[in-house]
Amino acid sequence: MRIMINKIIQIISIMLMIFAFYGCSRTAPSNSDITTEDTALSTVEVEITEMASEQEIEQDINNVSSTSDNAQDSNVIKLKDDGISGEAVDSDGMKKDPIITNKSIDQKYTVGDFEITVVSAQLAVLSADNDEVAEYLEIETNRDYVLFGIGISVENTSDKNESIYPNRSTIVTNTKEQVDSLFALSDDVGGTFYGNVVKDGQIYFICPKSDINELNHIKWIIDAPVVDDRSEGESLIIEFDMIK
């Protein structure tokens, strides 16, 4: 912007010098002199218009970039505790202490013919004091683990039989850990969906290498839907920012 203003000032200064020269050397300018002055003024107007157009184009590019950023942010859920729904569990050899719980997210996403609604999410600390329970959960006894749970509703909005597997999905954490969903704990919210079918349930992930105090971002990846044994569309990626 500063460069554009300086250029305009330089052009105007040059034109004023030209006009001053003509005024000092001639008492009565001829028609050709007037034409020269008009041409010079037109040149100034054209250059100013061109620079203004460049400025508008640059502004349009910035607006598009801003729109893209906002669109990307729609796939990021700010996960903050709602203060009322997180309850500790201590029974049957398993203990769960919630850190963040939100049961009113209601964020919808579309992937192929499926509509996936994130209803709730919870970040908690999980442990087992029973060997049998620990084996079932695929964890060690008497050790704290990060547990991440997502409550979802999945709908096939088409009349076709299609498959999608949120219950066999993957998360990646800011602590550089990649883990698959724990099939033993997760509900049956995946597989083949006949036309216009809805499935609801919970999906759980255990992060054995993550520290609950360091984990603040999770990226959840769901593979694209499958139709006639072929993937259709792209994977769905939803991110969670933990606000502790």
Over residues 162-180, the pLDDT tens digits come to: 999 999 999 999 999 999 9
Give me the pLDDT at residue 10, please: 52
Beta strand ranges found along the chain (DSSP E): 76-80, 89-91, 94-102, 107-111, 114-128, 145-156, 162-164, 170-173, 178-180, 191-193, 198-207, 217-222, 226-227, 230-231, 236-243
Q: How many CB atoms lie within 10 A of CB 203?
A: 25
- The answer for residues whose C-beta is within 8 angstroms of residue 224's C-beta and 6 or more apart is 111, 112, 164, 231, 232, 233, 234, 235, 236
Q: Helices 2-25 & 31-73, crossing angle to 10 degrees?
A: 170
Give me the pLDDT at residue 23, please: 41
Global pTM value: 0.70
144 near 97, Cβ under 8 Å?
A: no
Give me the pLDDT at residue 33, please: 47
214 near 175, Cβ under 8 Å?
A: yes
User: Nearest CA to 173 among 115, 125, 119, 239?
Assistant: 239
Q: Which residues of the chain have pLDDT under 70?
A: 1-73
Backbone angles phi, psi at 40, to 5 degrees: -65, -45
DSSP 161: -
Give me the pLDDT at residue 229, please: 85
Compute the distance between CA of residue 95 and CA of residue 134 in angstroms, rounded to an integer.
Answer: 11
219-237 pLDDT tens trace: 999 999 999 888 988 999 9
